[in-house]
């Protein structure tokens, strides 16, 4: 079972395809950050549940939490023999991924006393290749730092000889970014480890470049844009409705 413990519903950018970026509140209350005691007690509440996949986010950007590293380290330090959660995964826009945070994520992924595939994957929400496109689609001029951060994460994972977490580099095909899908794939595919290129949810045991469908009011048009982008890079588009996280 997926358990989402949302560290924050704040976000530091404003993706055009995300309703999070369009409102001042996400849960009928002002944005906020989880306090440490809530995190500690919530983790404790997982004890005894079976096959939990823990995700420290729902609507916001988890790394924006000022104590993100402390929270993640605490979770893994108290998960000996996987008593709290079987798996862990993170979604991030990679804007806030300094070297120390990269090491935190790689440290917990290689922690002793847990099953080796505990930290499954990091899903990087990127959605653009060129700087102008990134600024348009993501609502912030952060392309350079995001690419640098992700490339550093991949380098450090390789230098430390780790296979986990796997990395999914995601690209929601939408108005404004359809012209650079191939450039995006060509950039990231050689930097990943044995990656698959996929139009559907990526496997949890492989790196992937993930061309994702845009969920929007005109779904037929969004699906057509996605299908065309997939065909442009030799990929068969998916036809079924997209599943949940
Ligand atoms: S980074 Fe995530 S939460 Fe923030 S606006 Fe983009 S999709 Fe929404």
| For ligand 1, atom 4: residue with the closest CA | 11
Rounded-to-integer distance, Cα 142 and Cα 63, Å? 15
User: Best mutation site among 20, 65, 172 for ligand 1, i.e. most ligand atoms within 8 A of its Cβ?
Assistant: 20
* Angle, helix 143-159 to helix 131-138, in steps of 10 degrees: 100
Sheet holding 87-92, edge to edge: 2-4, 53-55, 87-92, 119-125, 166-172, 208-212, 196-198
Cβ of 13 less than 6 Å from ligand 1:
yes
Show the domains of the chain with their CATH numbers.
Answer: 2-232 (3.20.20.70)
* Angle, helix 68-77 to helix 99-109, in steps of 10 degrees: 10
Q: What is the DSSP letter of 192?
A: S
Other beta carbons less than 10 A from residue 15's beta carbon: 20
User: Best mutation site among 4, 6, 11 for ligand 1, i.e. most ligand atoms within 8 A of its Cβ?
Assistant: 11
| Mean pLDDT calculated for residue range 26-47 | 93
pLDDT tens figures, 126-157 = 999 999 999 999 999 999 999 999 999 999 99
Average pLDDT, the chain: 94
Beta carbons within 8 Å of 160's beta carbon, 6+ residues apart = 106, 110
Paired sense of beta strands 208-212 and 166-172, if any: parallel
Predicted pLDDT of residue 23: 74
| For ligand 1, atom 6: residue with the closest CA | 15
pTM (predicted TM-score): 0.94
Token pair listed for 115? 């099953």
């Amino acid at each position: 079972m997926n358990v989402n413990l949302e560290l924050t519903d704040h976000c530091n950018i404003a993706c055009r395809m995300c309703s999070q970026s369009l409102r001042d509140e996400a849960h009928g209350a002002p944005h906020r950050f989880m306090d440490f005691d809530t995190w500690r007690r919530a983790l404790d509440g997982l004890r005894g549940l079976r096959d939990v996949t823990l995700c420290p986010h729902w609507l916001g950007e988890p790394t924006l939490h000022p104590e993100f590293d402390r929270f993640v380290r605490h979770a893994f330090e108290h998960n000996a023999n996987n008593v709290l959660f079987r798996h862990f995964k993170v979604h991030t826009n990679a804007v806030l991924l300094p070297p120390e945070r990269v090491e935190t994520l790689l440290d917990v992924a290689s922690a002793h006393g847990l099953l080796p595939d505990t930290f499954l994957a990091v899903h990087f929400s990127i959605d653009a290749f060129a700087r102008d496109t990134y600024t348009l689609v993501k609502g912030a001029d952060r392309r350079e730092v995001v690419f640098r951060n992700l490339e550093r994460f991949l380098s450090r994972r390789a230098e430390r000889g780790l296979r986990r977490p796997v990395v999914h580099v995601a690209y929601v095909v939408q108005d404004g970014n359809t012209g650079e899908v191939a450039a995006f794939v060509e950039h990231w595919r050689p930097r990943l480890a044995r990656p698959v290129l996929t139009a559907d949810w990526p496997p949890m045991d492989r790196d992937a470049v993930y061309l994702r469908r845009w969920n929007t009011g005109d779904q037929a048009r969004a699906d057509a844009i996605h299908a065309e982008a997939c065909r442009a890079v030799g990929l068969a588009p998916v036809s079924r409705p997209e599943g949940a996280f």
